[in-house]
Structure 1
Amino acid sequence: MRTTVIATLLATAVTLSLVAGAQVKEGTHKEGHLDYDHQSAWKGTLDHAQSPIDIVTTDAQKAVPNEPLALQLQHLTGAQVDKVEDNGHAVQVDSHTTEADIRGRHFTLNQFHFHAESEHTLDGKHFPLEGHFVFKAQDGRLAVIGVMYREGAANPAVQVLLDDLAAAGGKLPQPQIDIAALLPHKLGYYHYLGSLTTPPLTENVEWYVLPEPVSMSKTQIDAFLSHYRHNNRQIQPLNGRPLIRYEG
């Protein structure tokens, strides 16, 4: 009897292992890796409020005149960088000192990362890169500020990140960064309610996409592209969700 039980347990373990292997192959992610060529196999909670979207500027509703406080960011200069890494599907920076009051509510920056090409589009136009600055409220609510990057003058804050990334897990040569240099001067935005753009694709995420692009040099863009040339999720339908334009 004991031999039979052991054999059954072994057979079950092998079966589960095969199933798990198949899921990783189909879907998509193992130790942070995502297969962007087979996004239809991603596992997650898929409803009717997914991200990213194409922002059709003429369809956006103008924000009400008393839009509450909009985006108010603090502790941008000298922000502490805890880690810069290639996490398997993006270049990610962990930083927790920057705070934000977003439409009257308090959030703290958790991390920011980069997608190539941009995940959101403006009137169908992609940018070379899009940065996602992920903020979290005390109650767990997420708000993401999306920033577009274009080719132009070199960006010293971007170079800090690239130098830290080159340290490959060692001591960061520059453990502080000027996050303001990664953001446009004008914090006007397009706002809608969407989702995470990677599994589990959780919805009820507040999005604030800044249309004014920030420049970085071709060399700096190429440095990001050397890690990922295609880590952008496909455009998702808006499905009647309100899209708000705040001029800033």
Structure 2
Amino acid sequence: MSRTFQRALLGLALLGAITTAAAQQYDYDRQEQWQYPAALAQSPIDIQRGVAIDGDLQEVQSIELRDTVATLRIVDNGHAVEVEAHGPDALIRGRHFELMQFHFHAASEHTIDGESFPLEGHFVFKAQDGRLAVVGVMYVEGEANALAGEVLDALGDASEGEIEREDIAIMLPRDKSYHHYLGSLTTPPLTENVEWYVLDTPVTLSADQIAGFNARYSHNNRKVQPLNDRPLVHFAAH
């Protein structure tokens, strides 16, 4: 056996090992095997409205989306349907963040007073200093959502697609009231110190649209984690 052939076999073996490790990393049936650096500030949580405290009205609390129309690239990344968006940004509590991507979990990862939802969207924003803020949106069955339909149509049976220009704002409610806490990413490496803003008002998708996301992933939701005495802050938008 030549050295070149041996190196090729070794490369294939390593690639297979990496692929297997990646698959195990996102194995939602074995979440207890996920490894993370700390365990006191993990996400998602059950948002218990009765323990939430009101936000300080002397501070800027609002979430303001800006430049929401963008070209979108849709990717099935192996564990979620993800939409990459470059251009939209937001002022979150008076600080500037840029939208990196949004993706979907079924069923919802966060629960509200123990209630789960068919689908949850995570809009991942990043500040210039690298800080992450994630806006969570719950989706329920009702009227169809135009952008959700375009996302599913653009993806089709492929692993990626593109939407030339669309307004991402229609995937979020107009009412930006939220519950806020400090948590983590909900997928490995489960990094902590992530700002979470889970919006109070759900957005509707049609039954067919919910089924379309479930056809891709119907169990990519992490189990709720203990709050561990973290402050849970509620802001009611006016």
Give the TM-score, by structure 2 length.
Answer: 0.89
Q: Aligned equivalents of 1:51 and 1:171: distance in 2?
A: 29
Specify which of 71, 92, 105 is matched with residue 102 of structure 1. Answer: 92
Asked if 1:234 is matched to 2:223, the reply is: yes
Q: Tell me the amino acid that sits aligned with residue 64 of structure 2.
A: Q
Deviation digits for residues 60-95 of structure 1 (CA, Å, limit 9, x no counterpart): 00111223142111012x2221x2011110000000
Match of 1:65, SS? coil
CA contact (8 A) 2:75 2:160 kept: no
Which residue of structure 2 lines up, in the alignment, with residue 135 of structure 1?
125
User: Over aligned residue pairs, what C-alpha RMSD do you find?
Assistant: 2.3
Q: Tell me the amino acid that sits aligned with residue 80 of structure 1.
A: T
Q: Tell me the amino acid that sits aligned with residue 233 of structure 1.
A: R
Asked if 1:28 is matched to 2:24, the reply is: yes
Which residue of structure 1 lines up, in the alignment, with residue 144 of structure 2?
154
Asked if 1:79 is matched to 2:75, the reply is: no
Asked if 1:41 is matched to 2:33, the reply is: yes
Q: Aligned equivalents of 1:117 and 1:42: distance in 2?
A: 19
Which residue of structure 1 lines up, in the alignment, with residue 175 of structure 2?
186
CA contact (8 A) 1:94 1:112 kept: yes
Compared CA separation, residues 62 and 120, structure 1 to 2 (3 A): same
Q: Tell me the amino acid that sits aligned with residue 184 of structure 2.
A: S
Q: Aligned equivalents of 1:239 and 1:42: distance in 2?
A: 19
Larger radius of gyration: 1
Q: CA deviation at 1:24?
A: 4.1
Asked if 1:224 is matched to 2:213, the reply is: yes
Give unpaired runs (5+ residues) of structure 1. 1-9
Specify which of 233, 240, 247 is matched with residue 236 of structure 2. Answer: 247
CA contact (8 A) 2:28 2:220 kept: yes
Match of 1:97, SS? coil
Match of 1:158, SS? helix
Q: Aligned equivalents of 2:59 and 2:140: distance in 1?
A: 29
Which residue of structure 1 lines up, in the alignment, with residue 42 of structure 2?
50
Q: Aligned equivalents of 2:118 and 2:37: distance in 1?
A: 28
Which residue of structure 1 lines up, in the alignment, with residue 62 of structure 2?
70
Which residue of structure 2 lines up, in the alignment, with residue 120 of structure 1?
110
Compared CA separation, residues 193 and 163, structure 1 to 2 (3 A): same
CA contact (8 A) 2:142 2:207 kept: yes
Q: Aligned equivalents of 2:159 and 2:24: distance in 1?
A: 25
Deviation digits for residues 198-245 of structure 1 (CA, Å, limit 9, x no counterpart): 000000000000021000100000000001110000100000000000
CA contact (8 A) 2:61 2:235 kept: no
Compared CA separation, residues 217 and 203, structure 1 to 2 (3 A): same
CA contact (8 A) 1:112 1:131 kept: yes
Give the TM-score, by structure 1 length.
Answer: 0.85
Match of 1:44, SS? coil
Compared CA separation, residues 104 and 217, structure 1 to 2 (3 A): same
Q: CA deviation at 1:170?
A: 6.6
Give unpaired runs (5+ residues) of structure 2. 1-5
